[in-house]
Chains A and B, each alone.
Chain A
Amino acid sequence: MRQVLREVRRAPSRIVVSVFALALAIGAIGVFAIPTVASSSLRDAAERDNLAEVVIGTSDTGDMNVETLLDSLDNVQAVDTQIETEVSLDAGAPGGALLKVIGFDGQTQQIDLVHAEDGRLPEGRDEVLVSNGVAPIGTTVAVTGQDGETTDLTVVGIGGTSFWSATSAAFTTLETARDLAGLEGVNRIVISADDVGKDELRATADSARDLLAQEDVAMTFLPITIANNEHPVEADIEQVSSLIGILGIVAGIVALVLLGSTTNTLITERTREVAVMRALGARSRPLRRRLRRLAVGIAIAAVVIGVPLGILISNVIARMVLQEFVGVTPDIAVSLPVIAGSVLFALVGARLVAARAARRVTKIPLATALRDRDGSPFGRRFTERLASRVRLGGLLDRTAFRNGVHRRSRSMAIVAQITAAVAALLIIASLATTINDFNAASVEPFNWVSRTEVAGPGLDIDADVADSDPRSEVSIDAIGEFDGWQVDVRGVEDDTLMIDRHLDEGSWFVQSKEAVVSTGFAERVGVNIVYSLDEQPAVELAGLTETIVIDSFQDDGGRQAILMIFGAIGFVVVSVAGLAVASGLAVNVYERRHEFAALQAVGGRKRHVFRVVSAELIPMAVLGIGFGLIAGYFGGKAIMGSFEASNAVEIGYTFAAGVIPAAAAVVIVGSLVLGGLMVRRVTRQPAALTLRSAA
């Protein structure tokens, strides 16, 4: 560390740039942490709220004591009773917005704890606590309950609980809720269990159902079981999270290139200094150790900045995901494995690269290293001599080309970084386009214009809607499970006009227990036509259709959010790559400042210097763009493919060819502007001054 400090005093800006470049590389690894950060902040919230493990919806329990009835059951730790109902706002106007109302006992609550973030919990009659955004504290909201009567509710707090975090809801006392719902007892039972395994919870739910049935209390929806302390919205964001995690690989590659080139430059820059010390009698081994220590010291300094940066990046993006998809504002969370991984990546990576560079630097023949500024004069290698025979283009173009060959590892690093940036841009744009297209396509086969849902299961749909209007149909939405996959089950009339009945194979269902499934799903899970799905009720496959829907991608807001999140990750990756290109370029130009000063001394103007720089840069940019297009195309395809495989959906792949011109323009213009800035810097001072330091 002392060595690093000494170096900082000697060449502050160069060391600071190295530290920041490495820190950014470490920070970029933080993208990997997003899924973990998102789910761990959700789990933290779940734990804080003591999330229910089993939720049962019932008919009115009347004056029965549900708690004592269920407490005796195996595996039951605690039981709370609640009321769940819906009220309409806007004084019951037709089509008026509905608001979920949850009645709970603020004094005795043990499960699904309701918190007031602002204000307080409801205590008196007609007091409510609402989710953020519903209404401000102190206002009165007129609602119409199940009995058609209008009540004025007073907002006394803002808050909620994990279970309802994705929903706008109002929380009130049991008495108030009872009035609104028209109940005598309660209609919602939440249970926390000792054993939170999936099967155990199901067994508990089943025995609860039996017990309740003996008391003539029926269930109104399938019991919800939340196993293994997951947050109910975790599954919703899992797909998005896994996509983001895969993008982390792109960020990781960019970071790797940045780490390699920064560390390499750090050591190579010291070729001459090392040569002088060797000439004075220093042995190679301690010199190499010193160089390695320097690199690791700088990596440690970078870790100090990079780890918080990574935490910041992952938390900002995780927060965006959670806020957009589930309306939860999570606390700061960290992923220890990712932090440990990025620290290891920086330290081990820096040490490996430094060891290699140090070996090279201490092996250059002394005479050469002392004679030439950068320790490897042009013309020593065969490729360089070959390049010096190439007499294409003007003299300035030749120097550019030969310099590119001379400093080939730096040239390759710049090309690699441009490749990574372009690929990242394309992958992200392609994923966004793919999801967009998929959404559009998945909605396309549906012909309905509006959709009316009944308030509760088993309730009748208004006859006007169902029968008398020829333009309307009834249908059933449910969620089924097959082979461990969750599937959306959509019950429609067999002659439905609401869906385009395009079939890839087979025929449309005509009899009961026949079904059509999406082709992608059938392929993934290996079902064929005339395959009997052995779930209850058993159905027989009649045909395959390409129609599929994924709920979380369906809404427009979700789509926007995906674009936004991908944009944010793209921004991180592209700025890391851009910084890497800039630092590589800066070193390239800075190292050659004496050459440029000599060029100026013999009459070269600024534009000639710029010509040399751009003649070298443009081919690298073009190569980088080319490789980036290829990597972007196949990378995006691979990511989408693995996503399809792990989620048993068929989404397809739309390559965002539209962004190619923009990406190419950004790279070319960006690197020219960068080159121009560098040239301005090195040509600003008089040539004599630069040449003086060349001795």
Chain B
Amino acid sequence: MELTAHISPLDLAISGSIDLIRPLVSATDLTRRWGRGSSAQLGIDGVDLMIGYGELVAIVGPSGSGKSTLGALVAGIDRPTSGSLVIDGTRIDRLSNDRLARWRGGNVGIVFQNFHLLPTLNATENVELALKLADKSVGRRERRLRSGEALASVGLGDKMKRLPTQLSGGEQQRVAIARAVVTRPRLIVADEPTGSLDQESGHVVFDLLAGLVSSGTTVLLITHDENLAKRTDRVIAMLDGRVDASIPAVSEFVDGPLATDALVAAVAL
């Protein structure tokens, strides 16, 4: 995984490997609720959303507004109650459980606030496991090589044999990022990845995620941190389970690495 090379989505579009007209994520009337009737709990309610290839999108909103719910649906670890969700041409809300798991392995990387590394595997093994589940054709040696590279790219080249308990929170989160990127997914969903970290580690983690965008990965970042949100291409605000229309979908303070209005316009079609 080359994080340093700077390839813009436009370059990719020109080379024909991504489709500018078709969005990567397309949600229509997406709803998730738990329970039925009067006691039903609403997570999100009729969300329409499009996210383009290579975008770095922040989702913000008050606590309980449905950010994590939306993130889980897009990451394919939860199922909508109704609505449709197409990601890279696949209607993932219609996949069987096992298909969905396989899809996740190959197409999405997930970073959680609580890391969720497997406690009994060391850093490399955690990363290797994701690669193994995603792509069986990768041999043992290559797997180890790529895992090593991924860990090195998040600055953990010297702590590859450490167990999760032997790593700090920031380091664990970087292992989680290595685990998310090692499969070279199109989409990374990060739900408050910096929430458990101090400000400095938080910025390291954000920089790593933002850096992925330059290689064509789409990153959906759920955050409470205004400063981080400001550094993204676009901010989607949630309120009471809906996208808050009062805040412009396209951030006015776009100053991130990719201020490509053309791309955003194309995606917004």
Write the residues of chain A forming the contact surface with B, with a CB cutoff of 8 angstroms.
372, 377-380, 385, 388, 394-396, 398-399, 402-403, 406, 594-595, 597-608, 683, 686-689, 691-692, 694-695
- In the complex, per-residue mask of B158-181: 1 if CB is within 8 Å of any chain A CB, else 0: 000001111000000000000100
- Whether the Cβ atoms of B101 and A378 lie closer than 8 Å is no
Chain A CB count within 10 A is highest, among B69, B133, B166, B183, for: B133
Query: Is B112 on the interface with A (CB-CB < 8 A)?
Result: yes
Query: Is B87 on the interface with A (CB-CB < 8 A)?
Result: no
Interface range, B side? 35 or more
Q: Which residues of A sit under 8 angstroms from B78, Cβ to Cβ?
A: 686-689
Q: Give CA–CA (A279, B229) in the complex, Å.
A: 35
- Whether the Cβ atoms of B77 and A388 lie closer than 8 Å is no
Q: Give CA–CA (A308, B60) in the complex, Å.
A: 60
Query: Is B237 on the interface with A (CB-CB < 8 A)?
Result: no
Query: Is B110 on the interface with A (CB-CB < 8 A)?
Result: yes
Question: Which of A399, A403, A695 lies in contact with B114, CB distance below 8 A?
Answer: A695
| Closest beta carbon of chain A to B124's beta carbon, Å | 10
- Whether the Cβ atoms of B163 and A603 lie closer than 8 Å is no
- A603-B134, A686-B72 are known contacts; what are 7 more A-B pairs with Cβ within 8 Å? A379-B164, A598-B112, A602-B110, A602-B179, A603-B101, A691-B112, A694-B116
Query: Is B102 on the interface with A (CB-CB < 8 A)?
Result: yes
Q: Which residues of B sit under 8 angstroms from A379, Cβ to Cβ?
A: 119, 163-166
| Closest beta carbon of chain B to A688's beta carbon, Å | 4
- Whether the Cβ atoms of A605 and B75 lie closer than 8 Å is no
Given contacts A378-B165, A602-B129, contact A388 B122 (CB under 8 A): yes
Query: Is B46 on the interface with A (CB-CB < 8 A)?
Result: no
- Whether the Cβ atoms of A606 and B72 lie closer than 8 Å is no
- Whether the Cβ atoms of B116 and A598 lie closer than 8 Å is yes
- Whether the Cβ atoms of B166 and A603 lie closer than 8 Å is no
Q: Give CA–CA (A608, B75) in the complex, Å.
A: 19
- Whether the Cβ atoms of A608 and B133 lie closer than 8 Å is yes
- Whether the Cβ atoms of A692 and B104 lie closer than 8 Å is no
Q: Which residues of A sit under 8 angstroms from B120, Cβ to Cβ?
A: 378, 388, 398-399, 402-403, 406
Q: Give CA–CA (A379, B122) in the complex, Å.
A: 10
Chain A CB count within 10 A is highest, among B117, B118, B163, B164, for: B118
Q: Which residues of B sit under 8 angstroms from A372, Cβ to Cβ?
A: 165
Q: Which residues of A sit under 8 angstroms from B116, Cβ to Cβ?
A: 594, 597-598, 601, 691, 694
Query: Is B12 on the interface with A (CB-CB < 8 A)?
Result: no
**B55-111: which have CB < 8 Å to A?**
68-69, 72, 75, 77-79, 97-98, 101-102, 104-106, 110
Q: Give CA–CA (A688, B116) in the complex, Å.
A: 12
Q: Which residues of A sit under 8 angstroms from B101, Cβ to Cβ?
A: 600, 603-606
| Closest beta carbon of chain B to A617's beta carbon, Å | 16
Query: Is B222 on the interface with A (CB-CB < 8 A)?
Result: no
| Closest beta carbon of chain A to B14's beta carbon, Å | 31
Q: Which residues of B sit under 8 angstroms from A600, Cβ to Cβ?
A: 77, 101, 104
Q: What are 15 sample pairs from A and B whose C-beta atoms fall under 8 A apart?
A: A377-B165, A379-B164, A388-B163, A395-B125, A398-B120, A595-B119, A601-B77, A601-B104, A602-B133, A602-B179, A604-B133, A605-B97, A686-B77, A688-B68, A688-B69
Q: Which residues of B sit under 8 angstroms from A597, Cβ to Cβ?
A: 77, 116
Q: Give CA–CA (A406, B165) in the complex, Å.
A: 13
Q: Which residues of B sit under 8 angstroms from A606, Cβ to Cβ?
A: 97-98, 101
| Closest beta carbon of chain A to B35's beta carbon, Å | 12
Question: Which of A394, A395, A406, A605 lies in contact with B102, CB distance below 8 A?
Answer: A605
**B106-150: which have CB < 8 Å to A?**
106, 110, 112-114, 116-122, 125, 128-130, 132-134
Q: Give CA–CA (A605, B129) in the complex, Å.
A: 13
Q: Which residues of A sit under 8 angstroms from B104, Cβ to Cβ?
A: 600-603
Nearest B residue to A405 via CB reads: B120
- Whether the Cβ atoms of A692 and B68 lie closer than 8 Å is yes
Given contacts A380-B165, A388-B122, A395-B132, contact A601 B117 (CB under 8 A): no
Nearest B residue to A404 via CB reads: B120
Chain A CB count within 10 A is highest, among B113, B119, B125, for: B119
Q: Give CA–CA (A406, B164) in the complex, Å.
A: 14
- Whether the Cβ atoms of B133 and A598 lie closer than 8 Å is no
Q: Which residues of B sit under 8 angstroms from A604, Cβ to Cβ?
A: 101, 105, 133
- Whether the Cβ atoms of B77 and A687 lie closer than 8 Å is yes
Chain B CB count within 10 A is highest, among A378, A595, A602, A689, for: A602
Q: Give CA–CA (A695, B112) in the complex, Å.
A: 10
Q: Give CA–CA (A605, B112) in the complex, Å.
A: 19
- Whether the Cβ atoms of B105 and A603 lie closer than 8 Å is yes
- Whether the Cβ atoms of B121 and A398 lie closer than 8 Å is yes
Q: Which residues of A sit under 8 angstroms from B165, Cβ to Cβ?
A: 372, 377-380
Given contacts A603-B106, A686-B77, contact A694 B72 (CB under 8 A): no
- Whether the Cβ atoms of A599 and B119 lie closer than 8 Å is no
Q: Which residues of A sit under 8 angstroms from B98, Cβ to Cβ?
A: 605-607
Chain A CB count within 10 A is highest, among B77, B110, B128, for: B77
- Whether the Cβ atoms of A377 and B97 lie closer than 8 Å is no
Nearest A residue to B132 via CB reads: A395
- Whether the Cβ atoms of B72 and A395 lie closer than 8 Å is no
| Closest beta carbon of chain B to A367's beta carbon, Å | 12
- Whether the Cβ atoms of A686 and B79 lie closer than 8 Å is yes
Nearest B residue to A687 via CB reads: B77
- Whether the Cβ atoms of A398 and B125 lie closer than 8 Å is yes
| Closest beta carbon of chain B to A166's beta carbon, Å | 63
Nearest B residue to A694 via CB reads: B114
| Closest beta carbon of chain A to B44's beta carbon, Å | 12
Nearest B residue to A402 via CB reads: B120
Q: Give CA–CA (A354, B197) in the complex, Å.
A: 37
Q: Give CA–CA (A602, B178) in the complex, Å.
A: 12
Q: Give CA–CA (A168, B121) in the complex, Å.
A: 72
Q: Which residues of B sit under 8 angstroms from A601, Cβ to Cβ?
A: 75, 77, 104, 110, 112, 116
Q: Give CA–CA (A604, B134) in the complex, Å.
A: 8
Q: Give CA–CA (A399, B117) in the complex, Å.
A: 12
- Whether the Cβ atoms of A598 and B97 lie closer than 8 Å is no
- In the complex, per-residue mask of B207-224: 1 if CB is within 8 Å of any chain A CB, else 0: 000000000000000000
Nearest A residue to B179 via CB reads: A602
Q: Which residues of B sit under 8 angstroms from A692, Cβ to Cβ?
A: 68
Q: Give CA–CA (A595, B119) in the complex, Å.
A: 8
Q: Give CA–CA (A402, B121) in the complex, Å.
A: 8
- Whether the Cβ atoms of B121 and A602 lie closer than 8 Å is no
Q: Which residues of A sit under 8 angstroms from B166, Cβ to Cβ?
A: 379
| Closest beta carbon of chain A to B79's beta carbon, Å | 6
Closest 5 CB pairs of A and B: A603-B105, A688-B72, A688-B78, A402-B120, A598-B116
Q: Which residues of B sit under 8 angstroms from A406, Cβ to Cβ?
A: 120
Nearest B residue to A689 via CB reads: B78
| Closest beta carbon of chain A to B192's beta carbon, Å | 11
Q: Give CA–CA (A468, B162) in the complex, Å.
A: 96
| Closest beta carbon of chain A to B167's beta carbon, Å | 10
- Whether the Cβ atoms of A602 and B112 lie closer than 8 Å is no
Question: Which of B77, B118, B121 lies in contact with A688, CB distance below 8 A?
Answer: B77
Nearest B residue to A599 via CB reads: B118
Q: Which residues of A sit under 8 angstroms from B122, Cβ to Cβ?
A: 388
Nearest A residue to B120 via CB reads: A402
Question: Which of A385, A603, A607, A689 lies in contact with B130, CB distance below 8 A?
Answer: A603
Nearest B residue to A684 via CB reads: B97
Q: Which residues of A sit under 8 angstroms from B130, Cβ to Cβ?
A: 602-603
- Whether the Cβ atoms of A395 and B105 lie closer than 8 Å is no
Q: Give CA–CA (A683, B68) in the complex, Å.
A: 20
- Whether the Cβ atoms of A395 and B128 lie closer than 8 Å is yes
Q: Give CA–CA (A597, B118) in the complex, Å.
A: 10
Q: Which residues of A sit under 8 angstroms from B128, Cβ to Cβ?
A: 395
| Closest beta carbon of chain A to B55's beta carbon, Å | 22
